A and B are shown apart, each in its own frame.
Chain A
Amino acid sequence: AQSVTQLGSHVSVSEGALVLLRCNYSSSVPPYLFWYVQYPNQGLQLLLKYTTGATLVKGINGFEAEFKKSETSFHLTKPSAHMSDAAEYFCAVSDRISGGSNYKLTFGKGTLLTVNP
């Protein structure tokens, strides 16, 4: 089974500063990778995903992530943080279910982003 590690359970930045949320995965095969965001009392919303092709993936709300196979990483960045970006962010890998032909998402523990005025 694959696993996902998010370094830093809590990241705090100032408004206008760079946002960097780290994600490393373990996979023996090329992975499908996702970033989701969860606002308080809401479900998960897809920010972006990597499947194949270009390793720099652009998502919604100005976020982007770069797939680096050599580093087994998929870090999420945004050049300038807004107050509205305060939320919890989850990195996930699409994990083939053992003995099956379909997939489930395996999530990291999440990173809570705080944006200070």
Chain B
Amino acid sequence: KAGVTQTPRYLIKTRGQQVTLSCSPISGHRSVSWYQQTPGQGLQFLFEYFSETQRNKGNFPGRFSGRQFSNSRSEMNVSTLELGDSALYLCASSWEQVRGSETQYFGPGTRLLVL
């Protein structure tokens, strides 16, 4: 079974631009979560989607948004990029994520550099 895939793997943008990142979960998984990883803040929860609905959102500004499609693929969008948005963005999928014991499977991440 194929793992979680993320595209693109690397991205360079300039301040003020917007960016869209894509995540394809493991087949059959309906929950997709996004995390931001930076050296200073570590791994932080962005949001989680299930059946095309955002169920929960972390403590990030409204410039960060996402969506999920009927095939469970998810996209994350960041508008008006700032230098501090430079990070590794990780996507994770699981069956439902309604039981805390479920394993989240992570993709390789998209490394975003904002200049």
Name A's B-contacting residues (CB within 8 A).
31-32, 34, 36, 41-46, 49, 51-52, 90, 92, 94-97, 100-110
- Say which one of B61-69, B74-82, B104-112 lies at the interface with A: B104-112
A96 to B48, CA, bound (A): 13
> Does B33 count as interface, using CB distance less than 8 angstroms?
yes
Q: How far is the CA of A103 from the CA of B101 in the complex (A)?
A: 9
B58 to A110, Cβ gap below 8 A? no
Is there contact, CB below 8 Å, between B98 and A102? yes
Nearest residue, chain B, Cβ from A42: B108
Known: A43-B108, A43-B109, A44-B90. A103 touches B100 (CB 8 A): yes
The residue of chain A having its C-beta at the shortest distance from the C-beta of B103 within the complex is: A46
Complex alpha-carbon distance, A6 and B102, angstroms: 22
Kindly provide the distance from the CB of A53 to the nearest chain B CB, expressed in whole angstroms: 11
27 CB-based A-B contacts, threshold 8 Å:
A31-B100, A32-B100, A36-B106, A43-B108, A44-B92, A44-B106, A46-B105, A49-B103, A51-B101, A94-B100, A95-B100, A96-B100, A97-B48, A100-B56, A102-B55, A103-B98, A103-B100, A103-B102, A104-B48, A105-B33, A105-B45, A105-B104, A106-B45, A107-B42, A108-B42, A110-B42, A110-B43
Q: Within 8 Å CB of B111, what residues of A? A: 41
Cα distance A42–B5 in the bound complex, in angstroms: 11
CB distance from B73 to the nearest CB of A (A): 17
